[in-house]
Chains A and B, each alone.
Chain A
Amino acid sequence: MQNRKTISPNSLRGRLLRPLHHGDRPWQGLLIVISALVIVLMLAIGGLLWTQSAGARTAFGWTFLTPTATPTWDPVNDHFQAWPFLYGTLLTSLFAILFALPVGIGIAIFLAELCPGWLRTPLTWLVELLAAIPSVVYGLWGIFVFLPEVVAPIGAFLGNTLGQIPVLGTLFAGPIPASGSSRLAASLVLTIMIIPTIAAVTRDVFLAIPNSQREAAKALGATEWETIWQVLIPYGKSGILGAVILGLGRALGETMAVTMVIGNSIQGGISLLQPGYSMASIIANEFAEAVSQLHTSAMIEIGLVLFVITLLLNILARYLVWQVARQTPQEARS
């Protein structure tokens, strides 16, 4: 825009090009159109999932999503309830967060605070490689190795201990299938898959905490661990919550690995040790072979619910970041 003199403004060429600002107007226009298209794409996903799920929404209303003890998913008679899938997704994701959070924070502490410099980069890479392995490979390894060798014994143990406690026991009612296919299996595979996300984000949070915090704590006589536990973690708690949200988002939408290990059954009651089903895995298993319009529409509504959940999580994460940016003193921001 600072270059109007390169072509004489009174020549014919200059007069023709003037409204274009030497190509800057079309360039800006192109950038604006493309950027707007990205936004439209995001909105179109929500909009189209909404309109295409109209069949299921009018046929079943809220009963589609509400809890029920005797769920039906019956393509033959066109009657669908999504509760078992919602429950399976929520339960497995929550347990995955529960398992992955301590491990992820531990890794982040080790990488950001303790690890010698030469080991830091390779270890960070290795942890991030866990996130790069395709999810079908996790599923394959899960079916043939992880389930029989790790999940089945852990499940049997949980069933014999926690499963015997009166009320809590219903959540751990055994016995786990011999193959290991169960909600527990899905939770544990998800745990492995979201550890890198939680570890990476939390590590960045620790690295962003100003050194004055550590120095102040240590000057007061705190040990290394007390500094971390009583100063750094409270200081970075919003960021760690952000890591949890990101991990949760990944766990909720994970499809292939979960489909391969969860057992794909809607009869599993509420126990973690029984086979279940998840929202993503019902779509993966039945969408391409849907038998009726309503069947397709019901699965699109499940997709819509997944979309809305991830959208809300994203807004929450944004809000947290905004809060932290507003409250953090100037010193920490640099």
Chain B
Amino acid sequence: MSNFSELMDRSRATRARARKTVNAVMLGLTGVLTLLALVPLFWIIGYVVIRGGKAITPGFFLNMPTPMGVAGGGVRSAIEGTLVVTLLAAIFAIPPGVLAAFYAARYPNTPLGIALRFSTDVLAGIPSIVVGLFVYIVIVIPTKHYSALAGGAALAMLMLPTIIRTTEEMLKLVPHTLREASLGLGAPEWKTSLSVVFPAAVNGILTGFLLALARAAGETAPLLMTALGNERFDIGQIVTGGIQGHQSVFTIIGRIINQPVDSLPLALWKYAQQPYPERVELAWAVALVLMLFVLIVNVTARVWIQVRTRKMKG
């Protein structure tokens, strides 16, 4: 009998040891997996910085693209195009996004509110290339040409769900007492929303805009069938030409947004697939610019949120 209990004890001890080993191995593995996932991050950042850094010169920012096989080209048209397209996207997406967020935050449980949140989720999940097809059908087919306008609309549709969601979250964080105090003082609902609730949440909302813009600026797929790409896009030329021709400001703006434009991600995609080494070098430089922009915006936005929440808590 004592022999048996000894045996039991021993097997229990072995089992305990086995369980402890499994525990240590698996917990260690989770740490290893975390490190493993970060390897590509540092690999990409490091490689892009080294390869792209070599190709970055003042000419890279200032020169127009040169014909294939000719060295010394820059990506000014792509930089200008990116600015135009993202600016248009912000103009199209921010006002309706904020208003829809007001509705979603104020009336979350009405049928319209539920439908709105569902649509926002669906819009956020739609592949960006499908958004490109939609804008192609809605804008490019009727106007019969590719344009910066269509590109901006496509990026706006990608930004819209992000803007609605983050703004809604931020509006919900504003204490109810603030809204009630304003209403109690006799301010109408709209005035309470715009001049009390909105300013209280404005920091978080702006951060949301920034993050949405950074994502949109890196998008390529929907621009393929909307903005198309245009290596000769040159705002300076359009503006000076317009002034010399005594055109109105609206005509000039119209000419800028009504023609196909290049953008940095589009240029990167094209250059990466061309057999000319100087174009590939340009692609790496574009990658560096894009990546730095996105990373800097992301890190600043996060630090900002962190600081704000700490301030609000403390």
Contact = CB atoms under 8 A, between A and B. Distances in A.
B188 interface: yes
B39 to A, nearest CB: 9
A44 B146 CA distance: 21
A69 interface: no
A106 B29 CA distance: 7
B183 interface: yes
Interface stretch (A76-84, A209-217, A253-261): A253-261
B190 A41 contact: no
Contacts of B31: 110, 114
B126 A45 contact: yes
Interface in B175-233: 183-184, 186-191, 193, 214-215, 218-221, 224-225, 228
Interface of A: 1-3, 5-6, 21-24, 26-28, 30-32, 34-39, 41-42, 44-45, 48-49, 52, 102-103, 106-107, 109-111, 114, 121, 123, 125-130, 132-141, 143-146, 192, 195-196, 199, 223-226, 228-229, 246, 249, 252-256, 260, 280, 283-284, 287-288, 299-300, 303, 306-307, 310-311, 313-314, 317-318
Given A31-B99, A31-B102, A129-B41, A22 B123 contact: no
Contact of A256 (B30, B100, B106, B265): B265
Contacts of A318: 118, 121
Contacts of A48: 134, 137-138
A182 to B, nearest CB: 17
B122 A283 contact: no
Contacts of B214: 132
B155 interface: no
26 contacts: A3-B183, A23-B188, A27-B189, A32-B112, A34-B96, A41-B123, A109-B30, A125-B299, A132-B214, A134-B294, A140-B283, A146-B40, A255-B127, A255-B129, A256-B220, A256-B269, A280-B129, A280-B221, A283-B129, A287-B224, A287-B225, A288-B228, A303-B130, A307-B130, A310-B130, A311-B122
A137 B127 contact: no
Given A132-B215, A303-B130, A3 B34 contact: no
Contacts of B34: 106-107, 110-111, 123, 127
A47 B219 CA distance: 24
B1 interface: no
Task: Give the bracket for the number of chain B residues in contact with chain A.
Answer: 35 or more
Contacts of B79: none
B23 A225 contact: yes
Given A23-B188, A140-B283, A253-B127, 14 more contacts: A28-B189, A38-B120, A39-B116, A45-B130, A52-B137, A110-B33, A110-B34, A134-B218, A134-B219, A139-B269, A140-B272, A283-B133, A284-B224, A288-B225
A283 B129 CA distance: 8
B83 interface: no
A52 to B, nearest CB: 5
Contacts of B119: 38-39, 41-42
Nearest to A42: B119
Contacts of B33: 102-103, 106-107, 110
Nearest to B95: A34
A288 B34 CA distance: 40
Contacts of A192: 37, 40
Contacts of A223: 19-20, 22-23
A126 B302 CA distance: 11
A140 B218 contact: no
